[in-house]
Structure 1
Amino acid sequence: MNRTDRLYALVEHLRACAPRRVSARALAARFEVSVRTIERDLAALQQGGVPIYADVGRAGGYTLDKSRTLPPLNFTPAEAVAVAISLGRAEGSPFSRSARTALQKIVAAMSAADGASARELAGRIRLLAPLEDDEPASVPAVLEEAVSTRRVVRLAYIDKDGTETERDVEPVAFTGGTHAWYLIGWCRLRGDARVFRIDRVRRAALLEETAPERSFEDITETPPNAVVRALEFI
């Protein structure tokens, strides 16, 4: 059994045993690998967002939270690759980190055969990307958390004329399209609603302060030459 198949089987075995704990030694014996290999596999799954928990001690072991996992999915390989293409284009967006973990969960929940076919098909697809990208990798993740938790965020922002300013922003919403993503919020420096292109944010830091509640309708500023519509989530 190769590692990819073993990771899938490991998740399914823990799901079947939950909520009972299973020791690393028992898992190693089942999959005919060393305890160290199983522990590396479990760590990789945890880093990928699979909700696996461990207890230490004689009665300890590993278990999986069924309520936060997907049962085996009937995605076809082509459907899985279509999802991967969409999520792959989320790079640089405020939810790019979540897109990567979502894809890992989808593939882990597919059957071993379909997952292998999807990976083979994905290997025949290439996405074009800019040659240079000087955007700090942490910026989209910080802005995602700012909107999700409604925390005031401090931005180092470069405007269209190349002038850099530091400003505290009360985040309200994201908007974006094919070429750019924007953070919409209340700018305390300007005392008004503003739209910030995410690729012009050089640094972003969360503050401890919770932002006042504002709805999207409270913010009148929108990106130029754009019609804003709600994200369809069905």
Structure 2
Amino acid sequence: MNKSERIQRELFFVNSHKEFNLTDLMREFQISRSTAIRDLAELEQLGVPFYVENGRYGGYKVLPSSLLPPIYFTEKEIFSVFFSLQLLNLLSGSPFGSNYSTIQQKLLNTFSVEKQDKIAQATDSVQYAGIYQIEPTKNLEDLFSTILKNEPIKILYTRYTRKVKRILPIRLTLMDGYWYCIAIDIEKKEMRTYRCDYIEDIEIALDYPRPCILELGF
């Protein structure tokens, strides 16, 4: 592998270990001692938080950090990211509440003018047809948040009839132009599918704490 690819892999190796020594790096990447030392110096310049501890049980110790390591993409991988954003731009709503045109522009501004022109040419060469969202849905962010937090919720479901339900959202799915919420109906103890544009008045179901839901067996 070339140097840039090796440094990229070393970034993830170092960030996934609380401690390591030089021989670990040499063995993992099949490099010499001098190359390993040079690579560590480069990783330090990139902001990887580690320090050296001397002694018999010493080595390199990695400090806890909330910073993500920098990531290096190939040209094809860069195109894939922009194609994905182009697809998301076709949706009138998403669980992430993001303006994908803004994200796309921010990413584009990190590249040289020459690279920007190449990305624009690539994205113009691929078009997505038949992918659309029929009904705007305003509650996707709230539903997505409850999924991440494993929170049971009380909703007013207005499809066919108006009915209050208590559910545990599991996943969101876009199908045939509509967003659906796959969820456990807590009272019926069954998995159900709800169309998101018919879900109203989302509230945390305080009368159904998480430990009770675990007893449902899902």
TM-score (norm 2): 0.49
- Which protein has the larger Cα radius of gyration, Structure 1 or Structure 2? 2
TM-score (norm 1): 0.46
